[in-house]
Structure 1
Amino acid sequence: MSKYNKLDHLLLLIQTLSKSEKRNFKLYVNRIKKNTFSKFIKLFEIMKKMNFYDEKKILKNTHISKMQLSNVKAHLYKQILISLKLQYTEENYDIQIREYLDFSKILYNKGLYIQSLKLLKKAKIIARYYESNTILLELVEFEKMIESQHITRSLYSRSGELSSESKELIEKIQCNNALSNLSLELYGLYLKVGYVRNKKDKVFIETYFRTNLPKFDIDKLSFYEKLFLYQAQVWYHYIRQDFIMCYRSSHKWVELFKNHTKEKKISPVSYLKGYHYLLETLFYLNHYSKFIDVLKKFEQEVQNGEILMNGNTKILIFMYIYTNRINKHYMEGTFSEGIKKVIPSLFTNFKKIFNRLDSHYIMILYYKIACLYFGSGDNKNTILYLSKIMENKKKNLRQDLQCFARLLYLIACYESGLDENMDQKIQSTYKFFIQMDDWYIVQKEIIYFFKNLGNVYPHQIKSQFKKLRDKLIKYYNHPYEKRTFLYLDIISWLNSKIENKSVEVIINEKFIKTNYQK
């Protein structure tokens, strides 16, 4: 994959166009006859056949000079966006509202005030229906300006209505913004550091949540206010590792959409995220039967076309279906089966959307794949995908995942026999944990274990594994130390070394025993 391909926004936009979008673009530009032989049309024809950006090929096959290329690309980019806007105006309510507002301003500037107000009225009906309060406030303010500056025969009856409508909208927007800001800030904290690591983190997150949560009456909240509230609660409980409360909030999140079916089409991304965090919390709670039930419903909704498909939702559906299919195999201890059933189609689809995935999603996917290979006993591929995470230059993104990828990397190197530079690898891992301020008891014990392993005689190794297991198991339910076990099933690996069984067998036996008892 060409590095430059990622950076060329025009090529990336063209690659995302469907056949109907390309056809619509051609119809749009060819409505003007002189466009038929335009340089930007020729550029489009060349670039739509490219898999990666090739400037030499463009200059060779067009009459565009190197000096002109930048301007022609910018013009083509703009024309594609206008074409897409025209194609999807009816499907996007916010574009419709903006269009009415634009037309209303044109009419106002021509002195046609009554006609301008009629269009504003139409725009307000749509905005109210979709609870678009921010746009609605803009419409009301423009209407107030028309009414206050010009005699439209409705001034006396409308002035009081518009004033109270404006005040009510401002109150709603303030509450909505407070909840959405809280949700966004908590999500940002999670992306940076993951779960709480100590009492200081816990006190900080609890204080932050409590002081930034606005007062509200749940029965009076609108759909979006409830959505932002449940999102904020999910991030809050998730960071604190309170997965029971996280389950309750994510369940409310999903149920909110099921009780407001039109919003599933308006905000499909939020609906998908709610489903994913519901599945994620069930995974961490190890509630297998409920997890399978929710996953089946989720996949069924996707197959039945109940979720709107666009560029954003396709990426999220890919991520959420595959990560949760992998999680299913984690829970069952069927890692080898997971590699056969999940990995081939995962990579086929991954190649199609790689350029549009952000670093966070790619990092999660690589870690999931690495753990799947590790569980199956394939340490070579485990090391390959962990190395991809470790090579990531964005140290402020998912520091937790980067830290635990290094721990699993040490284990995989030991298992594969690639331990000739083990001291150097241990030192590198130690420095990284210190640098990330993530140096706690469980991590220390694992690092010290590997550091001292070279001084242990072969007949003593099993007893060392037992000692480490006995030390670590004490922290399995510790408020802060337990987070290590969410990323890495170190206890199952230690049991596999003690019992001379594979990790896959150990986890599968535990799964069968647990579900048989249930």
Structure 2
Amino acid sequence: MYEAKIKDDPLFDLIKSLTQTEAAFFKKYACIHVKGEENNYVQLFDILDGMEYFDAAALRKQLGKKNVPKQLHRVKNYLYNQILSSLREYHAAITIEEQLKDTLKDIEIMYGKGNYKLCKTLLDNGKALAYKYEKLNAIIEFLEWDIRLISKDIGYKNKTELLSNIFLAHKLVLDQKKNLYEYELWFNKMYTVIKSNNKIRDAKQMMAWEEIMGQDIFKEESKALSFQAKIIYNYCWGGFYYCTGNWMKVLEVVKRRYDLLESRQDLINDAPHQYINILGNKLGLLVNLPTMQSISLQEGETRFFEIVKSMKRFGRLWRSLTGISEIEIRVFANTTIHELGFYVSRGDFISAMTCSEKAEEKMESLVHSIGRSSELAYLYYTAYAYFGAGEYRRALRYINYIMNNNYLELREDMQCFTRILNLMVHYELGNVFVLESGVLHAKRFLKQKGYFFAYEKCLLVFFKKAAMMKLDTRKEEAKALLSLQNGLKAVPQNKYTNNFDEYFHFMWWIESKLAHKPFAETVQEGVAGFVEKSKA
């Protein structure tokens, strides 16, 4: 079960992020490269590796008085740098970048020995590999070696024309690099916006998007001069359409990104994160209510779990080929969160609970690897699953964990909905006094995050009334719920008012209370009706 976090330190975080093969490689590396006190460093490594959370006092106790160095912080810093060195060596033969760096080193060595013909052979092979995988920095270095070798008598013909072609190729690559830098700059700005707000709720939130997507490089795909730039171009448009609720356009852009990656299988092998990301996007589309309308619920479920299987298979394959589990960890986090969202969105809260319980221990152990945004999503969906199943006290454990930890600007929408979910849980439990203070806390938090919209105001007004009037009879409760339902329906509409799935769940929760039916049943009926309505 998630408990309050204990602050970690950089060395502990680094050690806990290592895979089994990376950890084993470090111990071998330490025996070769760390002289004199290697056993002490390995002992320190093993103690930290065995801790669930960093505990300085426990570390000193396990080391023993005789083995605790006078300046422990320096020893830890040395160990930290040795681990990084071992990781660099371990991964050197795996990535294309490292292979190209090794080739460039070989060229430099052979050049120093005067073996120019072998230099040329290494250069041609390395340059071909760099072009194949679009490694622009390496291409520039290979072209510069081309220039240096022209002056050597190794069979070059028409050196003037050759030099002119090299300069032209150099200029084209520099243009591609500058172009890619522009896309990466605006991609990072876009990523910050989407990780913070997710979906746009009012026109003010559009300002950041208008600045980004108004850039000349986003006018058409032909502005992107490299394959990677085309991927970013489509990623940004996909993010924009997702945040603004233009689901048909999202489908188009996701398909375009998928087709681009499929057309360059070699690049999938070099950058598997891109492939996992696009498959995750496809899962997300099958979870969102608006995109459920395009296919039957059964077909959507079949497609969803086929993609899940493909992602898990890819993660296992990548680990077996490289010995690196990073991709498999990303797949685990991605599929777990989307599977939770899938069940929650359809009202299958029992399956969502089961999914969460199976994954919890692994999710908690990988918290340093999966990222805080993924952790937040997992906790939120888990809390919602327990709420939907009527397990209110269990839901509170996860809600309290979220509210007691600072997630900064990550998924502020989800953090705000957690505060409302907290009120819904306490309402169901009849915790009147907690509800009253909870409303004040939620209002303050929503205002601080800029999420105090009309729907949220209506909900807080209802819970404030519930706390003050206590709604002791069914008649009083029904009257208050009807007032809330009418209030939500009467909210002035703009282009983005209903641009969040939680809106439908709020309405279904009210319906379930008025009809005295299980919330899960009401959601399932609502989703089925939502899909059928689109086909009429």
TM-score range, shorter chain: 0.7 to 0.9
Output the CA distance in 2 between the equivalents of 1:502 and 1:163.
Answer: 71
Kindly indicate whether residue 449 of structure 2 is the aligned counterpart of residue 436 of structure 1.
yes
Which residue of structure 1 aligns with residue 236 of structure 2? 232
Q: 1:318 aligns with which of 332, 340, 345?
A: 332
- Residue 376 of structure 1: CA displacement? 0.6
Larger mean CA deviation between 281-290 and 360-369 belongs to: 281-290
1:40 counterpart letter in structure 2: Y
Kindly tell me: are residues 220 and 423 of structure 1, through their superposed partners in 2, closer, same or farther at Cα, counting changes over 3 Å?
A: closer
Q: 1:132 aligns with which of 131, 135, 145?
A: 135
Larger mean CA deviation between 20-29 and 189-198 belongs to: 20-29
Map Cα deviations across residues 288-322 of structure 1 (whole Å, 9 max, x no partner): 34532332222222343466244432332122211
Aligned length, in residue pairs: 513
Kindly tell me: are residues 383 and 250 of structure 1, through their superposed partners in 2, closer, same or farther at Cα, counting changes over 3 Å?
A: same
What does 1:7-22 correspond to in 2, within 5 Å?
Answer: 7-9=9-11, 11-22=12-23
Kindly indicate whether residue 337 of structure 2 is the aligned counterpart of residue 337 of structure 1.
no
Kindly tell me: are residues 474 and 89 of structure 1, through their superposed partners in 2, closer, same or farther at Cα, counting changes over 3 Å?
A: same
Task: Give 3-state SS (helix, strand or coil) of 2:93's partner.
Answer: coil
Kindly tell me: are residues 46 and 505 of structure 1, through their superposed partners in 2, closer, same or farther at Cα, counting changes over 3 Å?
A: closer
Output the CA distance in 2 between the equivalents of 1:502 and 1:386.
Answer: 21
Q: 1:472 aligns with which of 484, 488, 494?
A: 488
Kindly tell me: are residues 495 and 16 of structure 1, through their superposed partners in 2, closer, same or farther at Cα, counting changes over 3 Å?
A: same
Q: 1:427 aligns with which of 440, 444, 455?
A: 440
Q: 1:390 aligns with which of 400, 403, 417?
A: 403
Map Cα deviations across residues 113-169 of structure 1 (whole Å, 9 max, x no partner): 66555544433222111111233224324544x358x65665545321220111111
- Structure 1: runs of 5+ lacking an equivalent: none
Which residue of structure 1 aligns with residue 209 of structure 2? 205
- Residue 199 of structure 1: CA displacement? 1.9
- Residue 398 of structure 1: CA displacement? 2.2
Kindly indicate whether residue 488 of structure 2 is the aligned counterpart of residue 483 of structure 1.
no
Kindly tell me: are residues 422 and 516 of structure 1, through their superposed partners in 2, closer, same or farther at Cα, counting changes over 3 Å?
A: closer
Task: Give 3-state SS (helix, strand or coil) of 2:366's partner.
Answer: helix
Output the CA distance in 1 between the equivalents of 2:341 and 2:152.
Answer: 65
Kindly indicate whether residue 359 of structure 2 is the aligned counterpart of residue 346 of structure 1.
yes
Which residue of structure 2 aligns with residue 77 of structure 1? 80
Q: Which has the higher contact order (CA 8 A, sep 6+)?
A: 2
2:140 counterpart letter in structure 1: L
Task: Give 3-state SS (helix, strand or coil) of 1:489's partner.
Answer: helix
Output the CA distance in 2 between the equivalents of 1:432 and 1:32.
Answer: 52
Which residue of structure 1 aligns with residue 184 of structure 2? 180
TM norm structure 2 = 0.85
For the 8 Å contact 1:43–1:58, the answer to whether it is kept is no
- Structure 2: runs of 5+ lacking an equivalent: none
Larger mean CA deviation between 446-455 and 506-515 belongs to: 506-515
Output the CA distance in 2 between the equivalents of 1:20 and 1:395.
Answer: 34
Q: 1:189 aligns with which of 188, 193, 198?
A: 193
2:510 counterpart letter in structure 1: L
Output the CA distance in 2 between the equivalents of 1:15 and 1:203.
Answer: 40
Larger mean CA deviation between 154-163 and 31-40 belongs to: 31-40
Output the CA distance in 2 between the equivalents of 1:395 and 1:47.
Answer: 28
Kindly indicate whether residue 306 of structure 2 is the aligned counterpart of residue 293 of structure 1.
no
Map Cα deviations across residues 88-127 of structure 1 (whole Å, 9 max, x no partner): 3332111111222234445556776665555444332221
Output the CA distance in 2 between the equivalents of 1:61 and 1:122.
Answer: 57
Which residue of structure 2 aligns with residue 40 of structure 1? 41
What does 1:28-67 correspond to in 2, within 5 Å?
Answer: 28-31=29-32, 39-53=40-54, 54-57=58-61, 59-60=63-64, 63=67, 65-67=69-71
For the 8 Å contact 1:410–1:426, the answer to whether it is kept is yes
Task: Percent identity, please.
Answer: 19
Output the CA distance in 2 between the equivalents of 1:219 and 1:433.
Answer: 40
Which residue of structure 1 aligns with residue 100 of structure 2? 97
Kindly indicate whether residue 175 of structure 2 is the aligned counterpart of residue 161 of structure 1.
no
For the 8 Å contact 1:475–1:482, the answer to whether it is kept is no
For the 8 Å contact 1:127–1:135, the answer to whether it is kept is yes
Task: Give 3-state SS (helix, strand or coil) of 1:308's partner.
Answer: helix
Kindly tell me: are residues 235 and 156 of structure 1, through their superposed partners in 2, closer, same or farther at Cα, counting changes over 3 Å?
A: same
Output the CA distance in 2 between the equivalents of 1:445 and 1:33.
Answer: 64
For the 8 Å contact 2:30–2:38, the answer to whether it is kept is no
Kindly tell me: are residues 482 and 14 of structure 1, through their superposed partners in 2, closer, same or farther at Cα, counting changes over 3 Å?
A: same
1:208 counterpart letter in structure 2: I
Kindly tell me: are residues 44 and 260 of structure 1, through their superposed partners in 2, closer, same or farther at Cα, counting changes over 3 Å?
A: same
Kindly tell me: are residues 234 and 486 of structure 1, through their superposed partners in 2, closer, same or farther at Cα, counting changes over 3 Å?
A: farther
Which residue of structure 1 aligns with residue 318 of structure 2? 308
Output the CA distance in 1 between the equivalents of 2:30 and 2:120.
Answer: 33
Output the CA distance in 2 between the equivalents of 1:206 and 1:122.
Answer: 44
Task: Give 3-state SS (helix, strand or coil) of 1:369's partner.
Answer: helix
- Residue 462 of structure 1: CA displacement? 0.5
- Residue 430 of structure 1: CA displacement? 1.5
- Residue 233 of structure 1: CA displacement? 1.0
For the 8 Å contact 2:193–2:208, the answer to whether it is kept is no
Output the CA distance in 2 between the equivalents of 1:58 and 1:139.
Answer: 52
1:234 counterpart letter in structure 2: G
For the 8 Å contact 2:116–2:152, the answer to whether it is kept is no
Map Cα deviations across residues 314-366 of structure 1 (whole Å, 9 max, x no partner): 33212221122222322432212331x31221112213202323222211111
Output the CA distance in 1 between the equivalents of 2:352 and 2:117.
Answer: 65
Which residue of structure 2 aligns with residue 378 of structure 1? 391
For the 8 Å contact 1:230–1:249, the answer to whether it is kept is yes
Output the CA distance in 2 between the equivalents of 1:377 and 1:321.
Answer: 25
For the 8 Å contact 1:178–1:214, the answer to whether it is kept is no
Task: Give 3-state SS (helix, strand or coil) of 2:199's partner.
Answer: coil
- Residue 433 of structure 1: CA displacement? 2.0
Kindly tell me: are residues 152 and 407 of structure 1, through their superposed partners in 2, closer, same or farther at Cα, counting changes over 3 Å?
A: farther
Map Cα deviations across residues 163-190 of structure 1 (whole Å, 9 max, x no partner): 0111111122233232333322211111
Kindly tell me: are residues 344 and 328 of structure 1, through their superposed partners in 2, closer, same or farther at Cα, counting changes over 3 Å?
A: same
Output the CA distance in 1 between the equivalents of 2:361 and 2:107.
Answer: 48
Which residue of structure 2 aligns with residue 504 of structure 1? 520
